């Protein structure tokens, strides 16, 4: 009985968790909630089950591994044996398992992917895809042109780069539209880090992982718009002629140069954040170590957030006996970042989840919904429109909560299918 009751209760609980934080719950339009859920289900079913799309994702996976090989080649040229560990080390290796250096063997891929993304944008490859996908979301979800374009661009670009496409229109956008942009930015991941997660988790989930990440980002867009509209309902829409997106770069060289610079900024930010958050986790757990053990295990930050987020994990379809572990991952993603959460998810000896639960968590963790992302978005968008800084601050917490729920709804939909 619970097998059928849990999805029903979980679905309405996820919607209710968005509605209770609404500024005007009576103004929420049920029609667009239904449209968002239907779009999610249809897109998820098509992307997961259609053979032609599965085949495309398979070829795309081989392309990702080729990109990784190309990155390794360039990184090894600059950093030598630090890039690939044991094979080219000028000394005898006693333990090959400890030769991988994440900063050189993994994170440098962000720089390469950022440059390639900029190049594909300038060559009009990504804009064609974005404009085609924006049609799916714009009318059924009742959003204006700038919001539809920027929201869809988040599937490929970063949370700060996507709003740059509609920078001239940010000053006149309503609070509803600002919260949509922030929510979508935090409920998806950029293509540059998508490849990183694919190579990091491929030993567990296989080569088809890039398809899962693309699917997660794509179906999270309607969920993010839905929750943002629940938080701050509004009928105001900003429109614009959709030609401005092509003027992001002046030439191919400019695209490569600026894309590389952006990649370096992201690389340094991710590396620095990983150092800081891992150090903070260690310090917090050290302080919690003064308390007595609970249920035979030491009290840690991960266990505390696991207790807080376990009910949310259950709402996504995770069995209760696994909800503690899944809740820990959700809490780590929200308080720290999704990068650390995926590192934890890869530790299958500590976080023991069933195959279905692992897949749900793979999707639920796919998003930038964390406190550091709020800071990144606020600083980035405030620099674009300083006059809207107070409005951006005012909606930031709602955007974070909406983005977390959107990612959870994505995990729920995939679990059902």
User: How far is residue 366's CA from residue 407's CA, in Å, rounded to a whole number?
Assistant: 7
List % helix, strand, coil for the chain (3-state, nearest 5). Answer: 75, 0, 25
- Position 296 scores a pLDDT of 81
What phi and psi values does residue 69 have, to the nearest 5 degrees?
A: -60, -40
According to DSSP, residue 354 is labeled: -
Q: Which two tokens stand for residue 290?
A: 């003064």
pLDDT along the chain (417 residues), means of 10: 87 94 90 92 89 78 78 85 67 63 75 83 82 79 84 81 78 91 90 75 73 89 94 82 60 91 80 78 88 86 89 94 92 86 84 90 90 81 86 92 95 93
- Position 88 scores a pLDDT of 66
- Position 262 scores a pLDDT of 81
Separation of CA 207 from chain center: 19
Q: What is the 3-state secondary structure (H, E, C) of 141-184?
A: CCCCHHHHHHHHHCCCCCCCHHHHCCHHHHCCCCHHHHHHHHHH
Angle between helices 191-205 and 109-122 in degrees, nearest 10: 130
Cβ(331)–Cβ(325) under 8 Å? no
User: How far is residue 363's CA from residue 413's CA, in Å, rounded to a whole number?
Assistant: 10
Using alpha carbons only, what angle is made at residue 174 by residues 173 and 180, rounded to the nearest 5 degrees?
90
Q: Count the alpha carbons within 13 Å of 168 in the hemisphere toward its beta carbon.
A: 10
Closest CA to 276 of 195, 337, 323: 337
List, in order, residues 6 or more apart from 373 with CB less than 8 Å away. 159, 185, 186, 337, 400
């Amino acid at each position: 009985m619970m097998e059928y009751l849990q999805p029903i209760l979980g679905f309405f609980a996820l919607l209710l968790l968005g509605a209770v934080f609404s500024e005007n719950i009576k103004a929420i339009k049920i029609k667009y909630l239904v449209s968002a859920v239907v779009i999610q289900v249809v897109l998820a079913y098509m992307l997961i089950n259609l053979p032609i799309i599965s085949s495309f994702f398979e070829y795309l996976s081989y392309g990702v591994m080729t990109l990784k090989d190309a990155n390794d080649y360039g990184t090894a040229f600059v950093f030598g044996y630090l890039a690939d560990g044991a094979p080219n080390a000028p000394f005898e290796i006693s333990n090959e398992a400890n030769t991988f250096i994440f900063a050189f063997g993994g994170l440098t891929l962000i720089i390469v992917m950022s440059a390639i993304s900029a190049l594909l944008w300038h060559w009009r490859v990504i804009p064609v895809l974005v404009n085609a996908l924006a049609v799916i979301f714009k009318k059924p979800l009742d959003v204006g042109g700038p919001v539809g374009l920027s929201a869809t661009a988040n599937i490929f670009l970063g949370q700060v780069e996507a709003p740059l496409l509609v920078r001239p229109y940010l000053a006149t956008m309503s609070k509803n539209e600002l919260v949509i942009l922030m929510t979508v930015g935090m409920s998806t991941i950029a293509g540059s880090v998508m490849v990183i997660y694919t190579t990091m988790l491929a030993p567990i989930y296989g080569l088809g992982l890039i398809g899962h990440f693309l699917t997660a980002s794509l179906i999270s867009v309607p969920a993010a718009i839905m929750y943002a509209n629940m938080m701050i309902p509004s009928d105001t829409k900003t429109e614009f002629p959709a030609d401005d997106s092509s003027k992001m770069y002046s030439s191919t060289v400019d695209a490569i140069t600026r894309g590389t610079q952006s990649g370096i900024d992201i690389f340094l930010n991710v590396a620095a954040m990983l150092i800081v958050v891992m150090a903070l986790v260690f310090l917090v757990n050290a302080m919690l170590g003064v308390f007595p053990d609970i249920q035979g295990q030491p009290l840690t930050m991960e266990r505390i957030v696991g207790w807080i987020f376990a009910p949310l994990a259950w709402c996504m379809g995770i069995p209760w006996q696994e909800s503690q572990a899944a809740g820990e991952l959700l809490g780590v993603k929200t308080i720290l970042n999704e990068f650390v959460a995926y590192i934890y998810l890869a530790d299958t000896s500590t976080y023991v989840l069933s195959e279905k639960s692992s897949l749900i968590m793979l999707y639920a963790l796919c998003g930038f919904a964390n406190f550091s992302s709020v800071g990144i978005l606020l600083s980035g968008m405030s620099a674009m429109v300083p006059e809207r800084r107070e409005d951006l601050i005012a909606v930031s917490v709602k955007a974070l909560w909406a983005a977390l729920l959107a990612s959870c709804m994505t995990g729920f939909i995939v679990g059902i299918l």
